[in-house]
Chains A and B, each alone.
Chain A
Amino acid sequence: SQTIHQWPATLVQPVGSPLSLECTVEGTSNPNLYWYRQAAGRGLQLLFYSVGIGQISSEVPQNLSASRPQDRQFILSSKKLLLSDSGFYLCAWSADSSYEQYFGPGTRLTVT
């Protein structure tokens, strides 16, 4: 069966510090991968998605970036965090031909 992992589970970082969140998927190959953010009182916002290694599409312009160095690895990064980057970050995957997306456990990021 497929599983999706995210780490860390929680993170507290000062403003201006870098960020690296990692997501890996097991049990499937060539998944579509997604990064979402849920800010307080708001729905899930799609940040990036990837249909293959090195292929990243950005949905929202911001100071975040994403990379996919391996087929089942998706990384969310920032060079300098802002207070507004605080939120709950979720990685998700879907099979190439499927509408359903399956989410990881999430990372709670607090920028202080």
Chain B
Amino acid sequence: DQQVKQNSPSLSVQEGRISILNCDYTNSMFDYFLWYKKYPAEGPTFLISISSIKDKNEDGRFTVFLNKSAKHLSLHIVPSQPGDSAVYFCAAFSYSGAGSYQLTFGKGTKLSVIP
């Protein structure tokens, strides 16, 4: 059962426009969410995160929105640049006590920004 879902495997956006990447989750125990960006043959790099007590976090061109009631978060990139072309992973953190915790990743969305 996939607890973190990125239903769009790919997204194409014109340079300068807004990119919106979506993520849905099913586990109500998730209390922290992260977005990672990954280029081919490289490890993911941390992009931005949000705690479950917030509904928005902004860092430069990147903004993450969290709707807890809908179990939905989104990453907005504006304006989009060709260098943003990569695979974006949504991840959710859960802690179950006694040192047991993990980061659960979605399958990723490949963003292509067209010049």
Contact = CB atoms under 8 A, between A and B. Distances in A.
Interface of A: 6, 34, 36, 41-46, 49, 51, 57, 59, 88, 90, 92, 99-106, 108
Contacts of B89: 43-44
Given A43-B105, A51-B99, A57-B100, A90 B93 contact: no
Contacts of B42: 105-106
Given A49-B102, A57-B100, A59-B102, A99 B32 contact: yes
Contacts of A92: 43
Main secondary structure of the interface of B (DSSP, over half): strand
B107 A102 contact: no
A49 B103 CA distance: 11
Contacts of A108: 41
A1 B35 CA distance: 22
Given A100-B34, A103-B44, A43 B106 contact: yes
B48 to A, nearest CB: 10
Interface of B: 4, 6, 32, 34, 36, 41-46, 49, 89, 91, 93, 99-100, 102-108
B43 A106 contact: yes
Given A99-B32, A99-B49, A42 B107 contact: yes
Contact of A99 (B6, B34, B36, B100): B34
B43 A100 contact: no
7 contacts: A43-B4, A43-B6, A43-B107, A44-B44, A44-B89, A44-B91, A104-B43
A100 B47 CA distance: 10
Contacts of B43: 6, 90, 92, 103-106
Nearest to A45: B105
A88 B87 CA distance: 14
Contacts of A43: 4, 6, 89, 105-108
B31 to A, nearest CB: 9
Given A99-B32, A99-B34, A99-B93, A46 B102 contact: yes
